[in-house]
Structure 1
Amino acid sequence: MDAELNRRRIIAIARVAFADEGLDLPMREIARRAGLGIATVHRHFPARTDLVTAALAELVAECRGDMQTFLDEPDPWRALSGAVHGFAEHRVQDRGLNEALFGSHPSAAAFAVDRREQARAMEQLVRRAREAGAVRPDVTVDDVRVCLGAIASFRLAHSTTDLQRLVDILLIGLAADVRGEAVR
């Protein structure tokens, strides 16, 4: 019973810590925050990858579901812009999740398949939007990745309104129909 409570506590602490500080936070610090010894943490999670996987698995599954929703959206612009907005609204506050899905952090090796699937899905969204004329004809998936990188680097020390403004500006830059107003 205590072992299971300790495991859940470690995962909860790690999830918050990784979100705030990234995946490089030492396991010793997670143990300290959980009020446990490092040996207890290592009994449950022998390697950092085990802890990262346990802490982020639920969030990565949510991302998978979100992306499927965008892929199922029949309107190509709404699908692509929804994916960008979704990333900004739900993921920018979670540094660890960004590192796991959009970076190449070694501790996030368990999510390599998810990273590839997310990349393929984004390629599909961009291709659909380009074929429908919803984005400029020269827009590539790399352009969208640059946008996501800009959003990921934006920390919420700024206001949420500033973040929304950034997303709107980035999407206007991608859109085929630029009228000087936010494209949604």
Structure 2
Amino acid sequence: MTSSAASASASDERPGTRLRVDAERNRDRILAAARRLYAREGLGVSMASVAREAGVGKATLSRRFATREELINAVFADRMDAYASAVTVALDDPDPWHGFTGYLYAICAMQAADRGFADVLTMTFPAAKALEARRARAYNDVLELIARAKATGHLRADFTDRDVPVLLMANAGVVSAAGDAAPDTWRRLVGHMIRSYAAPGAPVPPLPEAPEPSALYRAMVRLGRSD
């Protein structure tokens, strides 16, 4: 191929390459913007707000993610993988009761670190099939973890798998209510809940410190202002 022909060929490819690069850059900007907004404000953020945060038009957002569920699936895929990994780690613990209590702290910590993920763990998204497939795989492992913890005699016999989403719902509420004013309040909740799940005589982790009165007051003031 002559140099002029090669130059012409490269010139023909550049517009298409630029379009692909621009499309990928826009996708990355949208995902980064959605992560920031979801982590800060939860899943109630509108698609229009995500577009503004990303600095793209609504049409561009729609081309990359046609629905809210598609965006949520892309944003939280890695976090749902981490959620599934947490129960795998717990199952690998030679002490199933210790693995169980460590798992509860781990998943509640994930909620505390990201308000959007706190919402994801307490909702279902039938259209986000990949996300729900990850959740289903984790659920089966949670059933095994509960059975092993009960076999030690340390987990109450009347504890069921439904108590896990109940805990996550309660923790999501605490994370949202406490906000930045009392960010470690969730630890106290989980500590108390583990005590309620423990059979008589079971070893329980030390109860985390209660939040400072001034921190709780600030959280309550913030809640009052948001109404």
Partner of 2:206: 182
Q: Does structure 2 conserve the Cα–Cα contact (< 8 Å) formed by 1:168 and 1:183? A: yes
**Match among 95, 108, 114 for residue 115 of structure 2:** 95
Aligned residue for 2:190?
Answer: 167
| 1:109 Cα deviation from its structure 2 partner | 4.0
Q: Which runs of 5+ in 2 are unaligned?
A: 1-20, 209-227
Aligned residues of 1:9 and 1:34 also touching (Cα < 8 A): yes
Superposed displacement of residue 43, structure 1? 1.8
Contact 2:33 2:54 in 1 (8 A): yes
Distance 1:180 1:80 in 2: 11
For 2:191 and 2:96, locate their aligned partners in 1 and report how far apart those are by CA, in whole Å. 17
Establish whether residue 27 from structure 1 lines up as the match of residue 51 from structure 2: no
User: TM-score, normalized by length of structure 2?
Assistant: 0.71
Aligned mates of 1:11, 1:181 — CA distance in 2: 38
CA distance in 1, matches of 2:159, 2:49: 43
For the residues of structure 2 that align with 1:161 and 1:54, how far apart are their CA atoms? 28
What residue in structure 2 maps to residue 138 of structure 1?
Answer: 158
Structure 1 segments unaligned to the other structure (5+ residues): none
Match of 1:116 in 2: 136
Shift of 1:178: 5.7
SS at match of 1:96: helix
- Relative contact order, higher structure (CA 8 A, sep 6+): 1
For the residue of structure 2 that corresponds to 1:139, the secondary structure is coil
What letter matches 1:85 in structure 2?
A: Y
Q: 1:65-87 deviations in whole A, cap 9, x for unaligned?
A: 22211121121111111110001
Q: CA RMSD in A?
A: 2.4
When residues 121 and 153 of structure 1 are mapped into structure 2, their CA distance, relative to the original with a 3 A threshold, is farther
Runs of 4+ deviating beyond 6 Å: none
Residue 8 of structure 1 and its aligned partner are, at CA, apart by 0.6
Q: Which moved more, 1:95-104 or 1:36-45?
A: 95-104
Residue by residue, what CA displacement relative to the aligned partner does 1:67-125 show, whole Å, maximum 9, x if unpaired? 21112112111111111000121223323323334411455443121222222222211
Q: Deviations over 1:127-157 (max 9, x none)?
A: 1111111212222222333223221221242
- State the aligned residue count: 184
Instruction: Write out per-residue CA displacement over residues 45-73 of structure 1, whole angstroms, 9 at most, x where no aligned residue.
Output: 22222222211112112222222111211
43-52 vs 89-98, which moves further = 89-98
Identity %: 33
How far, CA to CA, are the matches of 1:85 and 1:50 in structure 2? 29
Q: TM-score normalised to the size of structure 1? A: 0.86
